[in-house]
Structure 1
Amino acid sequence: MVELEGSRMEARVVIEHNHPLSSSIAERRQWNSHNRIDQTTRNLIRNLRSNNVQLSRVCSVVGTLHGGGEYIPFRRQSIRSLCGKLAQESIESDMEKTVSLFTEMKAKDNGLVVHVDLDDEKRIRSLLWCHGRGRENYKAFGDAVTFDTTYRTNLYNLPFGIFVGVNNHFQSTVFGAVLLTEETTSAFQWCFRSFVEAMGNQCQAMRAAISSELPNTRHRWCKWHVLRRAKESLGPLYTKNSGFKRALHEILDEVVSSSEFENKWEQLVEHYGLENNSFLRRAFYNRAMWAKPYFTETFCAGMTSTQRSESANHMLKTYISRSAPMHVFVEQYNRMIADRDADEAREEHATKQV
């Protein structure tokens, strides 16, 4: 090979030292020498995966940048292997990275509050945090708050709780979040104490925690969860009997007085011979915890259940994979909050133009 005026030319080729030329790009990709991912593409893949982009979509994006999937100069397996390595790197020193992340967040947000509950061996048992903007929003919109710990959206399968309210644009606004290792009365007591410094789920543990830590708060069960348990307990009677389902929802959605609710409930149960159904008996016994007529004097900001929390949790799933380590979980949660703040700013701007 010789170089002339900045260009290179092949002066001599020894065929014995080379393999036959590949007949296609697909064949060329099989050679190890043509299967290395360049640094720019590696960085792109890293950013896509950190934003919870699925592997198939990562491959599509890389293919688009190269003019089509058939022109990608490396195998799909190479992308898959790189994603595996990135995931492993992310898991390493997870807790140290999480602590470092909160330190960085505190430097940027003086209003950030982080509470950590440690066990006897100084291991993190619970972690609650609230951004400064969330605390300010709570002052204005904290009259009605939903809280739910249904979802497990992290590598360690920890219950994730999110405190959500409604702002002046009827948007969901997030006040704070908590990661727990257990759902016990003591864990919820710590959680609520740290958030009231903060702010339910229809379990006895949460009910006890609310009564002790938030004595002036009205605890309301999620109607959606009641209906889900009705579906599980009643089976085909609920899912396939349109008459029963319609009558039940009429009682739940349209009845406004407690006496009418009780009379129609008893008529429904008697009509379908469900007097001994354990679920319906428990639901009726605890009716004051979830039924609409028993909350007519309680301000709920248009919320009939933990729908606001569930909506926020659903939104969080678009940002975070279920296998996300702790620090990635917090990073993506922050991105969700930033997007919510941007949505609120747009509504605020639009309101001022009227």
Structure 2
Amino acid sequence: MNTGSQRSMGGGVHDVLDCLKRMHSENPNFYFAIRGDHDPSIANIFWADAASRINYTYFGDTVVFDTSFRSNGYKVPFATFTGINHHGQPVLFGCSLLLNESEAAYIWLFQTWLHAMSGRTPVSITTEPDGFVQKAVSEVLPNTRLRYCKWGMFRETQNRLGHVYQSHPTFEAEFKKCVNGSETIGEFESRWRMLLEQYHLMNDDWMRSVYDARRQWVPVYMRDTFFGELCAEEYEGRNLCFDGFLTADTTLQVLIKQYEKAAASWHEKELQADEDTSNALPMLKTPSPMEKQAAKFYTRKIFMKFQDELVETMANSATELEESESATSFRVAKFGDGHRSHIVSFNSLETKASCSCQMFEFSGIVCRHVLAVYRAKNVLTLPSEYLLKRWSRNAKGGAILDEHSMQETVNSQQPLTIRYNNLRQQAIKFVEDGAKSIHVYNVAMTALQEAAKKVADMKNQGVGITQGGALANGDHPMASGKPVEEKVKKIQELTAELENTNKRCEVYHANLLAVLKDMEDQKLKLSVKVQNARLSLKE
């Protein structure tokens, strides 16, 4: 699509804006912006909630910009920025309504999104093969690797070459085999020529354009860049975050409700994955210390991916080819499949290795070929540089603020939204850790009570209540210029709400201790009954 288009959604846009304004009033870190606010019914809207902005600090290395809801009969021209968390689950980085599509509109959208993400650019981004999007990425994210959605390329090819698909039922399978099954550039080039010759497409303009764009969508050309891809087919053709929540009949009036339901669902699934990972170590399949190391480091799903690679080393042999002062090269091949091999370069002094398959560069998980060389060279544990924190159990652990942000914490003129964001990031992590066991919970509650007392003491002294409290001009794209007094009142209301929440937590804490005591009493009574039953049996 290379021509602009415009939709008018009438009063539904006002309903969306009202919801977004409410969300921002409830949470200053909820970000939204409008392009074309002189007529909201044909405006473009972007929003990102606080969780999306925080998650981006952990998992914003690779992004998917999904515009599949713009077409395919959907009533709502919806688009999303998404990513992948440490459990391999989809995570949201922002949403938009694209009522007015043009090159300038997409540039605005990407600029606005980047601003909401504090200006941190991703390593890679995957999008539909769209001229407007390509232009926006090149202008706003010039150092980010752009990849076209492979499923989108397959779909568009089927639309353009429908007659070939109908007259040659084998074409689709051969086409996908050429794209997905080629392990080297040379292999892809050879298969591509054979495909064009077999189906008489040597002079086809569409296939020529597809080939010209090969470096932006064919996997073998993209493997030197991190895309965090674990299973490409798992989400092909589906929106990562909203599949099952939006349908072709979804209207603007119900969009935000479905958005909130989806957000709750993602959070619940992540908490469940956290719990599954924390409860116990997964079953090991080898006596390797490396497998035990990985089981303690990775989340459960990522460990399963690593474990598959480690087990495969049993069927792969590493043959030394040549040795130099800096590295030794190995040829690694599966038994019985010697014609398919990979070259691994190994530095024994630093225990570093790189493989021609580039799996680590692409997904962040060490491949079976490198692991086979490690096994041959008796390397028992993974070097730290091959253990990416973004795949770890502790992916959200530790400080996420950079040095500049830490310096800003002592700046009294810092905008309220930044202070709110910094505090909220730390609080979310505190709550997630504190709820995982009763022992940690007790420590967390004690710490919260002490912190609440210190904050109350500072309030009573009247220190810094209004200083730097007003939102900076332009800090939020919908900044209304409300008087400082009103904003101070809002801060005081939020502080009172925090105190009430703390009191409720204390009550919950007391109730929880009472329940635990009752459980201990029941356990003791049951133990006595069991002992009496055993004595009766002996008699």
TM-score (norm 1): 0.66
State which of 262, 273, 276 in structure 1 corresponds to 2:200: 273
Answer yes or no: is the 8 Å Cα contact 2:13–2:40 preserved in 1. Answer: no
Answer yes or no: is the 8 Å Cα contact 1:222–1:305 preserved in 2. Answer: no
Answer yes or no: is the 8 Å Cα contact 1:116–1:124 preserved in 2. Answer: no
Secondary structure at the residue paired with 2:101? coil
Answer yes or no: is the 8 Å Cα contact 1:154–1:329 preserved in 2. Answer: no
Instruction: Tell me, yes or no, if structure 1 residue 337 matches structure 2 residue 255.
Output: no
Q: How big is the shift at 1:240?
A: 6.0
Q: How big is the shift at 1:97?
A: 3.2
- Name the amino acid aligned to 2:44: S
Distance 1:250 1:95, change over 3 A: closer
Q: Measure the CA separation in 1 of the matches of 2:71 and 2:206.
A: 29
Instruction: Tell me, yes or no, if structure 1 residue 319 matches structure 2 residue 245.
Output: yes
Q: Measure the CA separation in 2 of the matches of 1:243 and 1:306.
A: 20
State which of 110, 135, 149 in structure 2 corresponds to 1:208: 135
- Name the amino acid aligned to 2:94: G
Instruction: Tell me, yes or no, if structure 1 residue 286 matches structure 2 residue 204.
Output: no
Q: Measure the CA separation in 1 of the matches of 2:23 and 2:64.
A: 25
- Name the amino acid aligned to 1:204: G
Q: How big is the shift at 1:151?
A: 1.2
Distance 1:326 1:155, change over 3 A: farther
- Name the amino acid aligned to 1:112: F
Distance 1:266 1:231, change over 3 A: same
Q: Measure the CA separation in 1 of the matches of 2:81 and 2:233.
A: 10
Task: Report what 2:25 is aligned to.
Answer: 107
Point out where structure 2 has 5 or more consecutive residues left out of the alignment: 1-8, 118-124, 281-539
Secondary structure at the residue paired with 2:239? helix
Q: How big is the shift at 1:116?
A: 1.1
Task: Report what 2:395 is aligned to.
Answer: none
State which of 96, 108, 127 in structure 2 corresponds to 1:190: 108
Tell which has more relative contact order, 1 or 2 (C-alpha 8 A, sep 6+).
1
Q: How big is the shift at 1:107?
A: 3.1
* 1:163-312 map, 5 Å: 163-197=81-115, 200-235=127-162, 237-238=164-165, 241-302=168-229, 308=235, 310-312=237-239
Q: How big is the shift at 1:258?
A: 2.2
Answer yes or no: is the 8 Å Cα contact 1:201–1:222 preserved in 2. Answer: yes
Secondary structure at the residue paired with 1:195? helix
Q: How big is the shift at 1:173?
A: 0.9
Distance 1:182 1:120, change over 3 A: same
Distance 1:344 1:263, change over 3 A: same
Q: How big is the shift at 1:307?
A: 7.1
Secondary structure at the residue paired with 1:209? helix
- Name the amino acid aligned to 2:259: Y
* 1:16-55 map, 5 Å: none
Task: Report what 2:273 is aligned to.
Answer: 347
Q: How big is the shift at 1:214?
A: 0.8
**Percentage identity across aligned positions?**
26
Point out where structure 1 has 5 or more consecutive residues left out of the alignment: 1-90
For residues 88-144 of structure 1, the C-alpha deviation after alignment (integer angstroms, 9 at most, x for no partner) is: xxx995444333322221233332111111255566511011111111111111111
- Name the amino acid aligned to 2:204: N
Q: After alignment, is 161-170 or 225-234 more displaced?
A: 225-234
Answer yes or no: is the 8 Å Cα contact 2:151–2:236 preserved in 1. Answer: no
Q: Measure the CA separation in 1 of the matches of 2:71 and 2:204.
A: 34
Q: Measure the CA separation in 2 of the matches of 1:204 and 1:279.
A: 15
Q: Measure the CA separation in 2 of the matches of 1:283 and 1:154.
A: 22
Answer yes or no: is the 8 Å Cα contact 2:31–2:49 preserved in 1. Answer: yes
The alignment covers a number of residue pairs equal to: 263
Q: Measure the CA separation in 2 of the matches of 1:160 and 1:351.
A: 34
Answer yes or no: is the 8 Å Cα contact 1:148–1:310 preserved in 2. Answer: no
Q: How big is the shift at 1:184?
A: 1.8
Q: How big is the shift at 1:345?
A: 1.0
Answer yes or no: is the 8 Å Cα contact 1:148–1:163 preserved in 2. Answer: yes
Task: Report what 2:359 is aligned to.
Answer: none
Q: How big is the shift at 1:162?
A: 0.8
Q: What RMSD in Å do the two structures reach over aligned CA positions? A: 2.9
